[in-house]
Amino acid sequence: MVAKTDSASAVSTNALILAPADLEVIAGYRVHPLTSRFPLVVGKEFDDMVEAAARARRLQPIETHQGLLIDGRIRLLVREELRQRNIDVEMPVIEWQPIGDETVEEHIWAVNHHRRHSDPDQRAALAVVFLPEIEAARRLKQEASRFGAQVIDAVASKSPPPLQSSRGPGRTSKEKDEASTIGQLAKLANVSHYKAKQAVAISKAVEAGEVSESVFRAVQQGDKRLRDVEPVRHKESKDKKNQRASKNRGRSSEPKDGVDDDQAPSEAAARLHWERLTARLAVTDMPAWRRLFLKVIRDDQRKYGE
């Protein structure tokens, strides 16, 4: 029921991060690559959907845009399962129409991530893919409007507010933080800034070849956690840190400043300590310091009866 096609070049996408090489195909419908990012429902949850559809004999409409399915993969699979049981169900197909200045990328995100029981790690990993696409689509709309293309008034829009630029005078540190890429990603995915930073770091590691795409996909599908995915350079840094710590532990057994704790101090070691102790003292102050040191030594000798 689910297949792949090599016609991914037919899709007009801007700069899909980690975009699949092929398009997913379900029941004859080619699926938008962003829609394919969301995990499918399986197991008991899917079986319950099949039974509910069998009783109602009707499924909610699926949506398409420019020949691609943007919403309804699971409903298509449910219908195919029922057809194998010789049960026909009604399932309308509608062409997506934007509300206000909504982009198809925003719509795909909105209708899919809200109805999934996704955890913060999944949402953050998926938002890394969606955020640049949403921003690019909004820029294209703005450019089109400047060149006279008709754009519906944004006042009537139910889409999310435009992503803010992190530049501009008069912003508070909190506003700048929220307007940054990390801040926008956290807001889009409804996750903490820490999760957003983790997801961005891992996506960059994928681009650099330090983490495989399949591993990051596993996070998006809910099979792995962000903390389980560690870029190679971070692992190397940890190894070097551990090596330094091990080296330092080895050095801790060596004599410090020429003095071995297990042996009586030598005159050379005493002179070394004295030189270090007096190195920062002004030459003119040395006589006064010597008199004070001698007094401290005499007091110490009386204390210990020497």
Strand-by-strand arrangement of the 2-5 sheet: 2-5, 23-26, 29-30
Q: Please, what's the b/e burial string for 13-40 (b: 16 or more CB within 10 A of its CB; e: otherwise)?
A: eeebbbbeeebbbbbebbbbbbbbbbbe
**127-150 per-position pLDDT tens digit:** 888 888 888 888 887 777 766 544
58, 52 Cβ separation under 8 angstroms: no
Of 46, 62, 152, residue with least CA distance to 108: 62
What digits encode the pLDDT tens for the residues 73-92?
Answer: 999 999 999 999 999 999 99
* Greatest distance between any 2 Cα atoms in the chain: 107
Q: Which of 179, 184, 207, 252 is nearest to 16 (CA)?
A: 207
Residue spans of the domains in the chain: they are 1-97, 118-165+174-252
Digit-coded pLDDT (tens) for 261-278: 445 667 777 777 777 777
Predicted model pTM = 0.59
Evaluate whether 4 touches 22 at the Cβ level (below 8 Å): yes
Q: How far apart are the first and last CA of the chain?
A: 95
Report pLDDT for 241.
58
Who's near 199: CB < 8 A, 6+ residues apart?
121, 124, 125, 127, 128, 185, 189, 226
162-201 tens-digit pLDDT: 444 445 556 676 777 677 888 888 899 888 998 899 899 8
Q: Residue 144's pLDDT is what?
A: 73
Q: Where are the beta strands (DSSP E) in the chain?
A: 2-5, 23-26, 29-30, 62-65, 68-71, 93-95
Tell me the pLDDT tens digit for each residue of 217-237. 889 888 889 988 866 555 545
